[in-house]
Amino acid sequence: MSKLSIRDLSPAGKRVLMRVDFNVPLDDQLQITDDTRITAAVPSIEYLVKAGAKVVLMSHLGRPKAAPNPKYSLKPVAVRLGELIDAPVHFVEDCVGEKAEAAVAAMKDGEVLLLENVRFYPGEEANDADFSKQLASLGDLYVNDAFGTAHRAHASTAGVTEYLSPCAMGFLVEKELEYLVDKLEDPARPFVVIMGGAKVSDKIEVLNRLMGKADAFIIGGAMANTFRLAQGYQIGKSLAEPDKTDLALQILDKAEKNGIEFLLPADTRHTAEFRDEAPTECTAVWGEGGAIPDDREGIDIGDKAIEEFSKKIAEAGTIIWNGPMGVFEKRGFDIGTKAVGKAIADNKKAVKIVGGGDSVTAANQFGFGEEMDHMSTGGGASLELLEGKELPGIAALDDK
């Protein structure tokens, strides 16, 4: 995707207004529990610092309902960012107005300032023109490195671009577009798409979009239950979408007509108790007596499914993984997700893309993150990009 890059700018001595995604989880003591999103923005920040720019950062955190709330202050983020870039990060307790303007005016070349949460103002999510102008007045040019919010047309992601020029993407956004768009234009074959999670309806647009490109689909998670229910099989108390069975059959029919391999779990791991380390069993192979008893629910793919999925993954030239194979958050229900993650990591020849959300969490949890070529920072944004939708935060940037 040919958008202006941070590499194309001449930022020395300029105020660079930069949108980042510092929407990090905090505990009850307002301590950061996962700094992945902060770390992801560091390369772009350090690049601008070394180039002699005044780097003015803006972000949201949580859902403060358009009013100041200490619970959602970005102040702890400024401290952590300073540790990561080994340089002071100034913080100002507002994102527009006199305090923000004075803090920016006091900056020296090569310094970093983090503004307070932009969602403390209703104008952010409303993409209000006046609020956008106020934010834009704090910069000479604009960089968006917040891929996780690029699917939102907010003041800090789209509105400010009406009042600043040039507007470019940072290194993080650049990498997201490289893997989720460019590398999928002509993917190395076989192209295998692994999809899990709860709902077929959440992934239908991605399924349809990639149906014309993929060689094989691997389906796990609760969404597989909807397909098995549609085929007439007994799924017990398993999570499913009974009202989407017609849709599931349409997808299966489309895959068959297009000659695309569509792998559903050959068996399912099920339990009578939804708790850590609860006893589990695997069904027989579906279609050969496989059924989940009425008092039990499927919580993971079974052993035969792991074997078949792993074999298919080993043959792949390009892999997209979006969604876990089961309830991996609970011990004993994580076997399938861990096995699929390992199979992806073990394929050293393939381009391996993890499409955000729970899949990234799982890859990191099981120690496979470093083996992946790209792990997307945007759950909703990555899905919409894979669906072929235009992301407002990307569309608003200047073309090369």
In the chain, domain spans: 6-174, 181-386
Distance of alpha carbon 160 from alpha carbon 303, whole angstroms: 52
> So what's the pLDDT on residue 290?
80
The architecture CATH gives domain 181-386 = 3-Layer(aba) Sandwich (3.40)
181-386: same fold as 6-174? yes
Give residue 24's identity as a one-letter amino acid code.
Answer: V
Q: Which CATH superfamily is domain 6-174 in?
A: Phosphoglycerate kinase, N-terminal domain (3.40.50.1260)
Can 380 be counted among the known catalytic residues? yes
Can 196 be counted among the known catalytic residues? no
Can 332 be counted among the known catalytic residues? no
> So what's the pLDDT on residue 143?
98
Beta bridge partners of 32: 26
Give start and end residues of each alpha helix (H) in 171-281: 171-180, 200-211, 222-230, 245-257
What are the φ/ψ torsions at residue 167 (nearest 5 degrees)? -125, 120
What are the φ/ψ torsions at residue 378 (nearest 5 degrees)? -120, 115
Report yes or no: 18 and 44 within 8 Å, Cβ to Cβ. Answer: yes
Q: Which of 221, 357, 378, 393 is catalytic?
A: 357
> What token pair was written down for 50?
């070394």
Instruction: Give residue 38's Cα distance to chain centre.
Output: 14
Of the pLDDT bands very low, low, confident and very high (cuts 50, 70, 90), residue 312 is very high
Q: Which of 15, 37, 228, 296 is catalytic?
A: 37
DSSP code per residue over 135-182: HHTT-SEEEE--GGGTTS--TTTTGGGGT-S-EEE-HHHHHHHHHHTG
> So what's the pLDDT on residue 1?
63
Instruction: Give residue 380's Cα distance to chain centre.
Output: 6
Coil/strand/helix, residue 298 = strand
The DSSP code for 261 is E
Of the pLDDT bands very low, low, confident and very high (cuts 50, 70, 90), residue 177 is very high
Tens-digit pLDDT profile for residues 158-175:
999 999 999 999 999 999
Instruction: Give residue 35's Cα distance to chain centre.
Output: 15
Exposure of 126 by Cβ count < 10 A (0-12 exposed, 13-18 middle, 19+ buried)? middle
Coil/strand/helix, residue 236 = strand
Which of 146, 78, 140 is CA-nearest to residue 114? 78
Q: Are strands 191-195 and 216-219 parallel, antiparallel or unpaired?
A: parallel
Distance of alpha carbon 239 from alpha carbon 243, whole angstroms: 12
Tens-digit pLDDT profile for residues 146-155:
998 999 999 9
**Contacts with 350 (C-beta within 8 Å, 6 or more apart), sequence order:** 188, 316, 317, 318, 319, 344
Tens-digit pLDDT profile for residues 314-347:
999 999 999 999 999 999 999 999 999 999 999 9
Tens-digit pLDDT profile for residues 223-261:
999 999 999 999 999 999 999 999 999 999 999 999 999
Give residue 318's identity as a one-letter amino acid code.
Answer: T
Q: Which of 75, 80, 133, 199 is catalytic?
A: 199
Can 82 be counted among the known catalytic residues? no
pLDDT at residue 396 greater than cutoff 90: yes
Coil/strand/helix, residue 355 = coil
